[in-house]
Amino acid sequence: MYKKHIESPELQAGFEKILEGNKQWMKLVAEDTTGRYQQLAKGQSPEILWIGCADSRVPANQITNTLPGEVFVHRNIANMCVHSDMNMLSVLDYAVNVLKVKHVIVAGHYGCGGVAASLSRKQFGIIDNWLCHIKDVYRLHSEEIDAIQDEEKKVNRLVELNVAEQVSNLCSTSIIQNAWKERDDLAVHGVVIDIATGKIVDLDITFTNSEGLGKVLAFA
Ligand code: CO
């Protein structure tokens, strides 16, 4: 076994704070009289797959007021659904075909740092290659984005357009399309979180079948 080795007291204290916090959580679990956690220890059957931004301010469970066991979560920078991302595809396949979730939610958030960075010409490092996928979304809507003067509004509009694009990316996967051939209880949604109020803004771009995806995106 590896031995714990932290020399910095500050670093150690930061880690202990996490373990202390866990004791509070354990207390809540111990006080629960519903048997929910004993049940959860045996397995999960969430109805929701949440694909959100990795940003620390948008935790799926807190924002939706849900408990452990209720939301299957995948998060990355700027809540992207990149066609060839094996990580996202594996999560999606497991959620849709094994867990049989009923809702897949792409959740962006206003003020997204990843989206803001994609609108800049600066280099940030390896992440630049990930941000290229958001720049692709900008390219589809550059006229609309360029016409917005206010920087914050520019970012926030691209946040919305990016969510719409990622919903479209999800719907065009063979995973979602094949699921739709077998079931009519699977919806893909796009939302944006307003961190300041906590509100989830529904972008009204829900798909429950491949109608409306266009003739190229929808498999025959
Ligand atoms: Co973000």
The string of pLDDT tens digits covering residues 131-187 is 999 999 999 999 999 999 999 999 999 999 999 999 999 999 999 999 999 999 999
Q: Is 202 labeled as ligand-binding?
A: no
Residue ranges of domains in the chain, CATH in brackets: 44-207 (3.40.1050.10)
Nearest to 103 by CA among 1, 202, 6: 202
SS3 (DSSP) at 37: helix
99: Cα separation from own chain's centroid: 17
* Amino acid sitting at position 196: A
Active-site residue, 121 included: no
Residues above pLDDT 70, as percent of the chain = 98
Mean pLDDT of the chain: 95
| DSSP character at residue 45 | -
**Total-model pTM:** 0.94
Annotated active-site residue 53? The verdict is yes
Work out the burial of residue 35: count CB atoms within 10 Å of its CB; fewer than 13 is exposed, 13-18 middle, 19 or more buried: exposed
User: Which of 6-15, 26-35, 112-121 has the least mean pLDDT?
Assistant: 6-15
Q: Which of 100, 50, 111, 47 is nearest to 79 (CA)?
A: 50
**Residue 74 appears among annotated catalytic residues:** no
Give residue 57 CA to ligand 1 midpoint distance, Å. Answer: 9
Q: Give the confidence band of 5 by pLDDT, cuts at 50, 70, 90.
A: confident
Task: Please report, as a single letter, which amino acid is at residue 190.
Answer: G
* 109 is a catalytic site residue: yes
Q: Is the pLDDT of residue 26 over 80?
A: yes
For the cut 80, the answer to whether the pLDDT of residue 216 exceeds it is: no
Distance (Å, whole) CA 69 – CA 30: 17
Decide if pLDDT at 218 tops 80: no
Residue indicated by tokens 């691209």: 158
Nearest-CA neighbor of 166 among 207, 199, 195, 126?
207
At residue 11 the predicted structure's pLDDT band, cuts being 50, 70 and 90, is very high
Mean pLDDT of 103-131: 97
Token code pair at residue 83? 């066609």
pLDDT of 27-55, one tens digit each?
Answer: 999 999 999 999 999 999 999 999 999 99
User: Ligand 1: distance of its center to the CA of 200 in Å?
Assistant: 14
Q: Check whether 4 has a pLDDT greater than 80.
A: no
Distance 133 CA to ligand 1 centre (A): 14
| Strands annotated E in the chain | 48-53, 71-76, 103-109, 187-194, 199-202
